[in-house]
């Protein structure tokens, strides 16, 4: 898939708004990838393209075991107010481990803590909360479950960080508590934490998500595998890809698997 430079913002935003209206709220509130991340992705794409031309008889590398600290934020001790049980959040990690099995990563819960705080529960005072709760280093995943968010979740992309910086403490993923048992959401968001863009990044622009084996598409909530929103580009819409939107997500591509490993090794290892 050739690299691209143009951005189909209007079409992508229109599709996203339509999908959000159908779902009642936004799926993902991730910001645009930084210039640093795009440059790293471009370099990795070039290396991956060269590697694909050569025979590879090496044994697959062992999965990276990512330590996970889970922070449950609620407004009361009622589950309706976000107070998830250990079993609830562990089921999320179990589902995510199934999705990432054979894809280079597994996730181990190290600890679960809970806070009753109305402002934190509505995604306010982010840095105050994270300075208090964040645990581990940059290769550690901090998951925050909050009951009052406009979107299902968001994660911070990997980047160069310094010890003790806001960027280090800000890192991690925030998931809306009422979708804790929708494993697709957490798997999708952690994909961003590992450096993956949306499959519909930049719409029908040829570079798209900068992964060669994910066809370009304009964002949609469709599960129709015959959809082709970018007919001048190779492949049908990757509606079953975890980094798309919708309710039928179930796969990562080999290219995405290679990319997450490269991103993790560059920024987090």
Question: Could you list the active site residues?
Answer: 189
pLDDT at 25: 53
pLDDT at 228: 95
Residue 256: closest CA among 184, 198, 203, 206: 198
Per-residue pLDDT of the chain (269 residues; tens, 9 = 90+): 433 333 333 333 333 333 333 344 578 988 889 999 999 999 999 998 888 888 876 777 889 999 999 999 999 999 999 999 999 999 999 999 999 999 999 999 999 999 999 999 999 999 999 999 999 999 999 999 999 998 999 999 999 999 999 999 999 999 999 999 887 999 999 999 999 999 999 999 988 899 999 999 997 788 999 999 999 999 999 999 999 998 899 999 999 999 999 999 999 99
pLDDT at 199: 94
CA–CA gap between residue 138 and residue 7 (Å, rounded): 31
Q: Which CATH architecture has domain 64-194?
A: 3-Layer(aba) Sandwich (3.40)
Query: Structural domain boundaries of the chain?
Result: 9-51+198-265, 64-194
pLDDT at 19: 37
pLDDT at 181: 87
For residue 130, count CB atoms less than 10 angstroms from its CB and return exposed for 0-12, middle for 13-18, buried for 19 or more: buried
For residue 15, count CB atoms less than 10 angstroms from its CB and return exposed for 0-12, middle for 13-18, buried for 19 or more: buried
CB–CB of 246/23 below 8 Å? Answer: no
Helices (H) and strands (E) in the chain, counts: 8, 6
């Amino acid at each position: 898939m050739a690299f691209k430079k143009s951005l189909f913002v209007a079409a992508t935003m229109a599709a996203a708004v339509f999908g959000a209206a159908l779902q009642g709220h936004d799926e993902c509130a991730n910001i645009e990838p930084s210039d640093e991340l795009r440059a790293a992705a471009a370099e990795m794409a070039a290396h991956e393209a060269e590697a694909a031309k050569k025979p590879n008889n090496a044994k697959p590398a062992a999965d990276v075991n990512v330590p996970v600290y889970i922070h449950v934020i609620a407004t009361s001790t009622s589950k309706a107010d976000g107070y998830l049980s250990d079993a609830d959040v562990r089921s999320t990690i179990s589902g995510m481990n199934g999705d990432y099995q054979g894809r280079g990563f597994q996730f181990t819960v190290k600890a679960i803590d809970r806070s009753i705080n109305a402002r934190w529960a509505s995604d306010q005072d982010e840095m105050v909360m994270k300075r208090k709760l964040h645990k581990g280093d940059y290769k550690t995943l901090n998951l925050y479950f909050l009951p009052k968010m406009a979107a299902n979740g968001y994660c911070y992309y990997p980047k160069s960080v310094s010890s003790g910086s806001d960027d280090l403490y800000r890192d991690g993923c925030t998931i809306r508590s009422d979708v804790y048992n929708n494993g697709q959401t957490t798997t999708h968001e952690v994909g961003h934490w590992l450096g993956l863009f949306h499959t519909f990044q930049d719409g029908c622009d040829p570079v798209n998500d900068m992964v060669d084996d994910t066809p370009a598409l304009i964002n949609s909530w469709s599960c129709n595998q015959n959809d082709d929103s970018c007919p001048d580009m190779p492949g049908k819409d990757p509606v079953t890809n975890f980094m798309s939107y919708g309710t039928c997500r179930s796969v990562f591509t080999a290219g995405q698997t290679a990319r997450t490993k490269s991103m993790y090794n560059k920024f987090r290892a």
